[in-house]
Amino acid sequence: MFHRLRVIIAITLTMIVLSLAACTSKQEEVLTIAKGMKVNLEYTLTLRDGTEVDSNVDKEPLPFTHGEGQLIPGLERQLIGMKAGDTAVLFVEATEAYGLHDPERLVTVDKANMPPDVQVGSQLAGPGGQPVQVTEVTDTSVTVDINHPLAGKDLTFDVRILTVDPA
């Protein structure tokens, strides 16, 4: 009788151990950044010389869906394969960020169409609300640079992935 009880206990314990092993071997799938994944990240953006341009640390995370062109191409490409909790410092060349500075994107407009206090260095709202920089002011005209303010600049992103979720 005791022998039979020991066998039943041994079989029961074996089944419990096997069940636990099966559960732990089926660990939750860790989601990584790939096309279509919804991601929230924290970042600090600096220029090559260390000047901080932007940061959302201790603010609202940046949400985006990977592969939908919501980020600059060089950053989006380098985020592939990262998972929640990962951190990285990512370098993005100007050509994969906001492009090279294009001298053809300097536009001269009639000074009468500008605010009366406009001066070199002023930032104004350009097409689509994008900021434009005043580069020259004469008695009759104003020249503005409609390149993105970060065009021609290499960028460094210090990122922390907060969440990665399926679409």
Chain segment 100-126, per-residue pLDDT in tens = 999 999 999 999 999 999 999 999 888
Say what percent of the chain tops pLDDT 90.
Answer: 73
Determine if residue 10 is left, alpha or beta; phi over 0 gives left, psi from -120 to 50 gives alpha, anything else beta: alpha
Closest CA to 45 of 85, 98, 81: 98
Gap between the Cα atoms of 3 and 86, Å rounded: 54
Per-residue model confidence as pLDDT tens digits over 22-33: 554 445 679 999
Question: For position 67, what pLDDT does the model report?
Answer: 96
Question: For position 126, what pLDDT does the model report?
Answer: 80
pLDDT higher than 80, residue 45: yes
pLDDT higher than 60, residue 3: no
pTM of the predicted model as reported, rounded to 2 decimal places: 0.75
Question: For position 1, what pLDDT does the model report?
Answer: 56
Domains of the chain: 103-145 (2.40.10)
Query: Which residues contact residue 85 at a Cβ distance below 8 angstroms, ignoring those fewer than 6 apart?
Result: 160, 161
For the residues 28-55, what does the mean pLDDT come to?
95
For the residues 7-16, what does the mean pLDDT come to?
58
